[in-house]
Structure 1
Amino acid sequence: MMNRLLPGLSRRSLCRELLAGVTLIAIAIPINIGYAQIAGLPPTAGLYALVLPTIVWVFLTSSRQLIASPDASAAALVAASVGGLAAAGSQNYATMALAQAIICGVLFLAMAVLKLGFLASFLSRPILIGFVAGLALDVFVSQVAKMLGVHIDSGNGFTEKLAQTFTGLGTLNPWSLMISSCAIAILLLGRRLLPVVPWALVVLVVATGAVAVTHADAAGVKVLGEVPAGPPVLTWPVIDWQHWLALVPSAIALTMVATAEGLLVSRSYGEKHRYPTNANRDLLAFGAANIAAGASGSFSVGASTSRTAAMDETGSRTQLPSLILAAGTILLLLFGTALLAEIPSPAIGAIVAVAVLPLFGLDEFRELWRLSRFEFWIGISCLVATVLVGAIAGIVVAFVLALVNLARRAASPAIDVLAEDDDPAASLLDGAPSGTVTAGGVIVVRMAAPLFFANGAVFANAVQHAIEAVGSDSVHHLVVDMEAITDVDVTGAGAFSGLRSWLSGERISLAFSRVRPGERIRLTRFDIIRDGDPVYDTNRAAVQSLRASANQTPEGSR
């Protein structure tokens, strides 16, 4: 019974999972309070995300480990998008954040129903690294201002926040600076010395106690303030339809980022620990969790990579820690909100700032530089666009860069001259120099890609250049290896028709080999293969047959 409700859970692992749940409470509660502040929402919005959305996620997801929760990138996107429609902290602002979460939920559900989980792969890793790094940089600047006690407008863009932070240094609060500096030292050194200790919780407890004892709030240290007690209440955002429509672009951005990151993390942990995952079921779970968030006073929910990694390190292999987190949060909301009132904002800023440091992706950018300079600059371009133009513009740039990268690769397919054993080689003749042809004037060419608008002309030109390189008088027959040509479009077919005309003018016959059975009808409909064109099972058979026909041709004729 236990294993059916929570796959992977057993009596032997129960104690370990319970301890992991306590650790998750210590990590998630302070972080979510910070993320709610980044989003421009009250602390309860971050806490409510740990209750109903978490419970819904646990019982719908296929992943045994992925933690669903608001994260830094989601919080930054909420602030950037909703902040342009309403003043942060206002009731209308909070209502639109709820509506945005519901739109995200509907989009997730639509993707699940239409089985569009594969779209997550459209955001390549360099693009995702750059986009998330840009959001992390924006979040980090906000937290630096909070740690210094400098007031900035959270609704502004990155450059405005950075300028306000520098110009506001004259108002720096030394007590805030001292609290945040000590908090950062504890977080970084503690994580290095005793990584199993929930240092974020330690920082909150120590900093809150210090503020209560020294009355640092009277010296200008900003504290969290009164947090309303009580569990989340089911509600529904009521806004006019123009605002619903205005929230759609940002909801699409939130959905795509959460989809790309969430499905990638879910699949990677499933493969690592050898349990099955289902992308479309996870999309369904994300959809239901976001609708639950919007209906219970929270904001958009995605995948928490850092918390998932933390639970993996504790040895957790089930969703029980998430249920314990939900139960612990309810108890806090019912009986412990008074403990939150004196939490100093500089300490929360330090916790969030340290939490987003891994999102800068320094190691990932270094690896991209080593492996592919082009993809490195794609990531950097996405980062710069996100930081300077905004999060929504950043996701648009991300999609444009993805299309550019895709078109660039598709427009430069590998085009090989093949040997008789079907392997790429310099020539069809053993030991012959590059560009020569077999006896009988046969040349075999293969393109390792579908034939479509981006590469049709490239293929036709490459074939012509290959023939001209050895002299068109020496080539009597061209064989096109069709094994890798899995699709064709109208533009690609037009380019091939031009190649056929050129071959006819040069009195070179055209034949095909290794045509995929399922593609032949489509290739015939597009006039790539015509009635009477020779079609062979292998390249060797094509070469031998065409050689034989050449030997039977009268001397001097072609």
Structure 2
Amino acid sequence: MTSRGGAKTGGGRHDGAARGAVRWHPFAGLTRHNALREVMAGITLLAIAVPLNIGYAQIAGLPPTAGLYALIVPVVLYALLVSSRQLVASPDAAAAALVASSVGGLAIAGSADYVAMAMAQAILSGLFFIAASVFRLGYLASFLSTPILIGFVGGLALDILVSQVAKMLGVKIDSGGSFTEKIFDLISGLGTASLAATGISVVGVAVLLIGRRLARAVPWALIVLVGATVLVASTGLADAGVAVLGPVEAGLPAPRWPMLDLATWIALVPTALALTLVTTAEGLLVARAYAEKQGVEHRPDQDLFAFGIANIASGASGSFAVGSSTSRTAAMDQAGSRTQLPTIVMAAGVLLLLLFGTALLEDIPMPAIGAVVAVAIVPLLGLPEFGSLWRRDRFEFVIGAVCFIVTLFVGAISGIFVSFVLALINVARRAARPAVDILIDDGAEGSTQRAPFAPTVQSAPGILLVRVAGPLFFANSAVVVDNLKRLVTTRAQPVRWLILDLEAISDIDITAADALSALRDWLAERDVQFRCSRGHGRVVDRMRRWGVLDGDAVYPTNRAALAAAREE
């Protein structure tokens, strides 16, 4: 789902499109000059995706083929339907963890029912994506802010990391248990750790970290897995207790439908919705970012439809939920890819692997898979991002931390629920206290304050021109009115005119209108004239209809309002 480094989400028609951007098809821009580069990018993507998807399938509690099947039909359909030139679709760590945490409570990992539930979950998620596309709901992803995504993904990542550390050490833990249970199993099982497994993991992590610094374009994950496999196969370490992947079913994915009762389908709806929301937030964000970078059009509703078809195809072919892969998208961008051709090349490579090369996968040591996944997971913990939140906004940091803790200790679904509640609280908190800017204050000599764009006027004692920066509604009207009263009563000289600049007030409801009417009456008792300026048609119409203005003039400019006040 996410590696860090991108801004978080958005939606809306043509959102993120660069001015003058052109529409395109998946292979627009492909020429004989860049075809070889695109094909090589596809080979790189294949080398990255195969080991990671095997690891993600392991995280999800599914057979390795479930991770590989997702790289054939689902990603090809996605590449043909999506509007993004570069966004790579694939199961990812967060989706895999969400599958494990949700389906793990309903069936035993690896069982036929478990696999069927993971498939059904992907199909339901696909249906939610298509519904969101039809009803143009891409904007809903905006409710998952950056702190929320940092906390949610970080909690999932730490839970995954514990399982991978156990795998790297050769310690057996209950992968379907809670975070605290996993920690307890890991600590209590340290005495059974395998020296050979630990050695393979340490070398693997070192190669991945050092190699990434030396040459990012090299598929180090593939090199680690191949090297570890050769080592284990040639030295007999598997017989000495180093766990290996084991037999991988050969052959193409066959169309099949998960046979589950209605109650089970209904039980999977919340987690499928959670998968949809998280993928929507990150997928639209990353797609928009690269669309802006490349100067192409981003159509979020089309992208949601592509995710929907990909997930239905994934569930109907024996795999699990498909989302966006930020890390692989970044890798393709670094490789110079500007089309979806690498995805097609990757799918063809996985197809050949399933037909002719599954025997090559059987001896891959589990500690090496754990090392590859762990290195990919660590950036998702969001430690630098949490540090940045702490420095920039403590409340935003608290939001991220709460999401992190709830996701980690209570569960992913609870984490999603808490995320949305916190998002609404944050919105209400900000909207409930809009800024009240003093544009002109000639109540006392030497106290005049002017915004940079305020008109320069001659002294006009007794005039207070203010602007409310935001819509007026039930949650903030009382606070705004109290602030305006305070401004009137605290001037050094009596205020005779209060002019409210309406330019930044995009909307007003009945509660706010009643509050302004009460303010007007309060001002009248103190012989203060209440006027408005620079109002929008809809806001002014409502204020007139609801009796706020009561026929009073709404001046087209602040200069006109000030001139009228001086003349009176």
State TM-score, norm by structure 2: 0.92
Match for residue 115 of structure 2?
A: 94
Unpaired segments ≥5 residues, structure 1:
420-425, 550-558
- 2:335 aligns with 314
- For residue 491 of structure 2, the aligned residue among 452, 457, 470 is 470
CA displacement 1:372-412 (0-9 Å, x = unmatched): 22212221221111111111111111111111211111122
- Tell me the equivalent position of 1:400: 421
Per the TM alignment, residue 462 of structure 1 is displaced from its structure 2 partner at its CA by 0.5
Report the counterpart of residue 514 of structure 1 in structure 2: 534
Aligned to 1:361: 382
Per the alignment, residue 144 of structure 1 pairs with: 165
Task: Report matched runs for 1:133-532 at 5 Å.
Answer: 133-419=154-440, 427=442, 431-433=446-448, 439=460, 441-470=462-491, 474-530=494-550, 532=551
In the alignment, is the contact (CA less than 8 A) between 1:56 and 1:288 conserved in 2?
A: yes
Q: Deviations over 1:471-513 (max 9, x none)?
A: 7x82222221111111112332232233223223323222111
- The match for 1:553 is none
State the Cα distance separating 1:246 from its structure 2 match: 1.2
1:429 Cα deviation (Å)?
Answer: 7.5
Q: Counterpart of 2:54? A: 33
Amino acid at match of 2:433: S
3-state SS, counterpart of residue 216 of structure 1? coil
Q: Which residue matches 1:537?
A: 556
Deviation at residue 240 of structure 1 after TM alignment: 1.4
Distance between the aligned counterparts of 1:380 and 1:34, measured in 2? 27
Amino acid at match of 2:469: A
**Aligned equivalents of 1:64, 1:496: Cα separation in 2:** 50
In the aligned structure 1, how far is the partner of 2:428 from the partner of 2:434?
A: 11
In structure 2, what is the Cα distance between the partners aligned to 1:430 and 1:224? 81
Secondary structure of residue in 2 paired with 1:160: helix
Match of 2:134 among 110, 113, 130: 113
Mapped partners of 2:491, 2:39: distance in 1: 73
* Separation in structure 2 between the aligned mates of residue 453 and residue 367 of structure 1, nearest angstrom: 33
For residue 8 of structure 1, report the CA deviation from its aligned partner: 2.2
- Does the C-alpha gap of structure 1 residues 414 and 167 become closer, same or farther in structure 2, counting only changes over 3 Å? same
* Aligned counterparts of 2:29 and 2:195: Cα–Cα separation in 1: 50
Structure 2 Cα separation of the partners of residues 353 and 166 of structure 1: 18
Change (3 A) 1:167 1:195: same
1:428/1:438 contact within 8 Å kept: no
535 and 35 in structure 1: CA distance in 2 versus 1, 3 angstrom threshold: same
**CA contact under 8 A between 2:57 and 2:67: conserved in structure 1?**
yes
Query: What is the deviation of 1:438?
Result: 6.2
Structure 2 Cα separation of the partners of residues 113 and 35 of structure 1: 30
Aligned partners of 1:329, 1:82: CA distance in 2, in Å?
26
Q: 125, 147, 152: which is aligned to 1:104? A: 125
Aligned length: 538
Deviation by residue 1:245-303 (Cα, 9 ceiling, x = unmatched)? 11111111111111111111111111112122111111111111111111111100000
1:69-115 CA distance string (max 9 Å, x none):
01100000010111111111111111111111011111111111111
Separation in structure 2 between the aligned mates of residue 160 and residue 529 of structure 1, nearest angstrom: 64
Task: Give the Å deviation of 1:430.
Answer: 7.9
Identity %: 57
Q: Distance in 1 between matches of 2:54 and 2:114?
A: 17
Specify whether residues 145 and 509 from structure 1 end up closer, same or farther in structure 2 by C-alpha distance, changes over 3 A only: same
Shift of 1:431: 4.4
Distance, in Å, in 2 between the alignment partners of 1:75 and 1:221 is 24
The answer to whether the aligner puts 1:55 opposite 2:76 as a matched pair is yes
Deviation digits for residues 318-348 of structure 1, max 9, x if unmatched?
1111000100011111111111111111110
What secondary structure is seen at the aligned counterpart in 2 of 1:486?
A: coil
Cα 1:428–1:232, aligned 2, differ >3 Å: closer, same or farther?
farther
Query: How far did 1:442 drift?
Result: 2.8
- Distance in 1, matches of 2:104 and 2:71, equals 23
Asked if the contact 1:452/1:488 (under 8 Å) is kept, the reply is yes
Aligned to 1:11, the other structure's residue is in SS state coil
Separation (CA, whole Å) in 1 of partners of 2:394 and 2:354 = 50
Partners of 2:60 and 2:25 in 1: CA distance: 37
Q: Which residue of 1 aligns with 2:98?
A: 77
1:118-129 equivalences under 5 Å are 118-129=139-150
Q: Deviations over 1:167-197 (max 9, x none)?
A: 1112112221111111111111121223221
SS of the residue 1:387 aligns to: helix
**Structure 2: segments with no counterpart, 5+ residues:** 1-23, 451-457
2:120·2:258 contact (CA, 8 Å) conserved in 1?
A: yes
RMSD value, Cα: 1.8
Query: Aligned residue for 2:14?
Result: none
SS at match of 1:529: coil
Deviation of 1:4 (Å): 4.8
Please state whether the residue corresponding to 1:298 is helix, strand or coil: coil
State the SS of the aligned residue for 2:113. helix
